[in-house]
Amino acid sequence: MEYYKVVGPPEAFYRAGLMYLSFANSTSLPEQTQKDLARDLSLAALSGSDIFNFGEVFMTPILQVLKGTQDEYLLSLMEAFTTGDINAYNSVMKNSGALVKSQPALTNKAVFIQEKITLLALVNMIFSRPSWDRCIPFEEISARAQVPMEQVEWVVMRALSLDLIKGKMDQMDQTVKVTWCLPRVLNMDQILEMKGRIDEWKDRVKNYEGVVQEGAMELMH
């Protein structure tokens, strides 16, 4: 972890940091060490070229040490990226712009970071929808990702090229049919949401079972 912190790239440091935290009890580290690690992991996650799932680091207590510090904006940014919340992202950038600009890791990749939050808005929108309701109009993507209609195709193609989603676009109907979405590391709220979807799926299966039974009875008669 310390090696990759010096030589990079940030995504290698991030993965080594997660591995370190899986073995080390971060709460036993000196307070300043915890804060430094939380800051560096946040910067690596935000700027890492292939890091699109922040749930693993949120499963550890390390980021919570940023609360009440001058780096608390990084915790807010991480939360915005985890949920793909562009409004929250814009709020942090507006209220903590000077602090963001003080971090070369963020300013040097400002365009990519903006692209990343846009892609995560799309991924989280898809992930929150049930599998049978993933034919998504461009208008919905435009609204959620906050991009003009003419940029929606680019956003979808970019997500496809990065293997964040799989599916097909229908340019005539202006829809995208998603068949697969990047798996997420879920927090408790997301787990409860997933439970609700499973319960809904069970109800749908039960309803179909009743329809099939009724049809079979008619055939037998």
pLDDT of residue 112: 96
- Arch. (CATH architecture) of 124-181: Orthogonal Bundle (1.10)
pLDDT of residue 208: 67
pLDDT above 90 covers a percentage of the chain that reads: 70
pLDDT of residue 148: 97
| Overall average pLDDT of the 205-213 stretch | 70
Q: What are the pLDDT digits (tens) for 138-164?
A: 999 999 999 999 999 999 999 999 999
Q: Is the pLDDT of residue 43 over 60?
A: yes
What's the mean pLDDT when you consider all of the chain?
89
Report how far residue 213's alpha carbon sits from residue 218's, in angstroms, rounded to the nearest whole number: 9
Q: Give the confidence band of 39 by pLDDT, cuts at 50, 70, 90.
A: very high
Q: How many CB atoms lie within 10 A of CB 133?
A: 9
Report how far residue 207's alpha carbon sits from residue 209's, in angstroms, rounded to the nearest whole number: 5
In what order do the strands lie in the sheet containing 165-170?
135-137, 175-181, 165-170
pLDDT of residue 34: 95
Q: Give the confidence band of 199 by pLDDT, cuts at 50, 70, 90.
A: confident
Q: What are the pLDDT digits (tens) for 107-149?
A: 999 999 999 999 999 999 998 888 788 999 999 999 999 999 9
Domain ranges in the chain? Answer: 2-108, 124-181
